[in-house]
């Protein structure tokens, strides 16, 4: 507990930023999923408090994820009854807990670093591109939409041109001032003032934007933003009305196979997104702490079960909120827990105040967060590392921008595997010749893909040559390659080729070449 109290100030400050970012996203994802608006809030609260408490991650923030929007919308449409969908969420959570006990969390470790960094950069670019319309007051698309093809039949890029046609002057002014304030709050001047550092830049931006718009509204100005450009939380008139926002699963739908299929789909996709989110969180963590992934799957599973039991959307670790949390200076999981607690208190007691926050101010916060994730320096860093790192990095970004998170990650992994195979193919077999002396050295893993080059090099060895076949440095040699070498050993004497074979003790190459070498006398 002492380590959490030690960073209480930083965590409390960061939790406010996460709260401001999470509120419209929770509502937007619920809207885009075709679920009740309050279901997004329930998921945000559970993700903050329950998963925040159980998770081994210090900085990851969980909540309803944009990546699940299409799956959730499809499941709700297919099942038709929301209570049946909630049962699917509970089943999905139970399956995640089982996956945690089966130690399936190791899957995330197989994603290359270039792909993870590409995912972060892609999320940053998506935030910039998707939030720009909100920044200038074009709020037809819901907050939290990350898909390339939007519900309004626009895509990420055409929406930008469409948004320019419908600029809301007040939103544009608030948005520009907000970004300038955020830039100023990152300057050396602010960092040297300890008293100002206590207030997060996102909170200052939201206060300034809200007060500015309220001044216009109270003065009767026609430039005041309409409610459609502001946060829209459900408002309960009394305790009974508030409790009516909660919905419970109906176990009578347990016999419906579609409920089970939806639960399995949610479990698999949510688990994959969570593992990717955790990998990203660990990469962003300044202290480089490592999250126990199997524990995370169990925590996410319990969180989804709780969320489904009280009417919430399915949960995953969310990169956007996590990056906002880290950017705001969070040090421990208390930030996540506090943001969930404050979200619950806000929707209970002050929803009307929150409904005065301009979406353009929140868009500025997200755009600034996106810029930090997709800095030009990151692209330069991977370019310097070489094409085998840069190409998978860029391919991941492009694929995520044009499809979605999971498909983009799969594309990035495939590209990274191609470069891995290519690199191993080129370096596994080395051939050096000096006059009539040849050295053929096998290194690392020699797969069947190397068979053509091995066969070709052995066939090119001229008559009366001396050949050393060195397999001491090989960790693995495919049987197809072994067969080619053995064939060469068998027929080398016909071309009067002398061969020396070197095999390492205890290595993959030991006792693999079964054809005896031909002596000089036998050649004659």
Residue 499's domain is classified under what CATH number?
3.30.750.24
Are residues 367 and 458 located together in one domain of the fold? Answer: no
Pull the structure tokens for residue 40: 């997004």
405 vs 482: CA distance, rounded Å = 42
pLDDT of residue 504: 66
Task: Give 58's pLDDT tier (boundaries 50, 70, 90).
Answer: very high
The answer to whether residue 396 is domain-embedded is no
Task: Record the pTM.
Answer: 0.85
The pLDDT tens digits for 98-121 are 999 999 999 988 899 999 999 999
The pLDDT tens digits for 478-513 are 888 889 899 998 989 899 999 988 876 544 555 566
Task: Give 523's pLDDT tier (boundaries 50, 70, 90).
Answer: very low
The pLDDT tens digits for 365-424 are 999 999 999 999 999 999 999 999 999 999 999 999 999 899 999 999 999 999 888 877
pLDDT of residue 522: 45
Residue 368: beta bridge partners?
Answer: none
Mean pLDDT, residues 313-335 taken together = 95
The answer to whether residue 128 is domain-embedded is yes
Q: Considering 360, 378, 396, which residue would you say is the last residue of a domain? A: 378
Based on the structure, what is the number of domains in the chain?
2
Are residues 212 and 125 located together in one domain of the fold? Answer: yes
Are residues 369 and 466 located together in one domain of the fold? Answer: no
Of the candidates 441, 466, 478, the residue with the CA atom closest to the CA atom of residue 518: 466
Q: Is the pLDDT of residue 197 over 80?
A: no
**Cα–Cα distances in Å, from 147 out to 32, 41, 121, 378?**
11, 21, 16, 23
Are residues 232 and 111 located together in one domain of the fold? Answer: yes
More confident residue, 509 or 301: 301
What's 515's DSSP letter?
S
The distance from CA 237 to its chain's CA centroid, rounded to whole angstroms, is 39
Are residues 333 and 441 located together in one domain of the fold? Answer: no
Share above pLDDT 70 across residues of the chain, in percent, rounded to a whole number: 95
Listed ranges 172-176, 452-456, 470-474; the one with the highest mean pLDDT: 172-176
Mean pLDDT, residues 21-32 taken together = 94
pLDDT of residue 518: 47
pLDDT of residue 226: 95
Are residues 192 and 304 located together in one domain of the fold? Answer: yes
Q: Is the pLDDT of residue 304 over 70?
A: yes
Q: Is the pLDDT of residue 78 over 70?
A: yes
The answer to whether residue 415 is domain-embedded is no
Mean pLDDT, residues 319-346 taken together = 95
First-to-final CA distance of the chain: 84
285 vs 264: CA distance, rounded Å = 31
Domain of residue 517, residue span: 435-523
Are residues 226 and 312 located together in one domain of the fold? Answer: yes
Q: Is the pLDDT of residue 314 over 90?
A: yes
Are residues 352 and 251 located together in one domain of the fold? Answer: yes
Are residues 313 and 444 located together in one domain of the fold? Answer: no
Give every CB contact of residue 80 below 8 A, 6+ residues apart in sequence.
Answer: none
**What average pLDDT does the structure give for the chain?**
91
Spatial contact of 27 and 356, defined as CB atoms under 8 Å apart? no
Spatial contact of 281 and 59, defined as CB atoms under 8 Å apart? yes
pLDDT of residue 521: 46
Q: Is the pLDDT of residue 313 over 60?
A: yes
């Amino acid at each position: 507990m002492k380590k959490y109290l030690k960073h209480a100030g930083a965590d409390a400050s960061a939790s406010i930023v996460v709260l401001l970012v999470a509120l419209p996203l929770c509502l937007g994802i619920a809207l885009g999923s075709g679920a009740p608006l309050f279901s997004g809030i329930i998921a945000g609260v559970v993700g903050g408090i329950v998963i925040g408490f159980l998770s081994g991650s210090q900085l990851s923030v969980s909540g309803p994820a944009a990546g699940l929007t299409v799956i959730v919308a499809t499941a709700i449409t297919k099942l038709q009854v929301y209570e049946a969908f909630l049962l699917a969420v509970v089943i999905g959570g139970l399956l995640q807990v089982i996956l945690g006990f089966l130690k399936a969390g190791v899957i995330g470790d197989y994603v290359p670093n270039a792909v993870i960094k590409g995912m972060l950069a892609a999320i940053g670019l998506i935030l910039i591109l998707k939030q720009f319309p909100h920044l200038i007051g074009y709020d037809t698309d819901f907050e939290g939409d990350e898909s390339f093809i939007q519900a309004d039949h626009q895509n990420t890029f055409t929406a930008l041109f469409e948004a320019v046609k419908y600029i809301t002057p007040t939103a544009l002014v608030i948005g520009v001032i907000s970004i300038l304030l955020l830039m100023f709050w990152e300057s050396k001047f602010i960092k040297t003032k300890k008293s100002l550092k206590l207030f997060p830049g996102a909170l200052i931006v939201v206060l300034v934007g809200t007060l500015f718009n309220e001044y216009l509204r109270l003065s009767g100005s026609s430039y005041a933003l309409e409610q459609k450009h502001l946060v829209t939380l459900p408002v309960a008139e009394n305790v009974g009305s508030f409790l009516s926002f909660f919905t419970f699963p109906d176990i009578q739908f347990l016999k419906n196979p579609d409920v089970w299929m939806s639960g399995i789909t949610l479990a698999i996709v949510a688990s994959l997104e969570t593992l990717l989110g955790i990998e990203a969180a660990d990469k962003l963590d300044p202290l480089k702490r490592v999250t126990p992934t199997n524990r995370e799957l169990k925590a996410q599973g319990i969180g989804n079960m709780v969320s489904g039991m009280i009417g919430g959307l399915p949960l995953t670790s969310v990169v956007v909120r996590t990056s906002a949390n880290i950017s705001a200076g969070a040090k421990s999981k208390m930030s996540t827990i506090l943001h969930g607690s404050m979200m619950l208190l806000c929707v209970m007691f002050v929803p009307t105040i929150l409904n005065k926050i301009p979406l353009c101010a929140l868009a500025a916060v997200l755009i600034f967060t996106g810029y930090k994730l997709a800095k030009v320096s990151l692209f330069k860093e991977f370019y310097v590392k070489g094409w085998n790192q840069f190409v998978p990095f860029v391919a991941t970004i492009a694929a995520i921008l044009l499809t979605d998170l999971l498909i983009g990650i799969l594309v990035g992994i495939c590209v990274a595997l191609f470069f891995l195979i290519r690199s191993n193919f080129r370096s596994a077999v080395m051939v050096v010749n000096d006059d009539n002396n040849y050295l053929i050295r096998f290194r690392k893993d020699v797969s069947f893909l190397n068979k053509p080059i091995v066969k070709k090099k052995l066939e090119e060895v001229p008559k009366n040559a001396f050949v050393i076949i060195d397999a001491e440095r090989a960790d693995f040699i495919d049987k197809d390659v072994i067969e080619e070498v053995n064939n060469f050993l068998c027929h080398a004497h016909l071309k009067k080729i002398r061969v020396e074979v070197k095999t390492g003790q205890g290595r993959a190459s030991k006792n693999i070449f079964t054809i005896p070498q031909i002596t000089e006398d036998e050649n004659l």
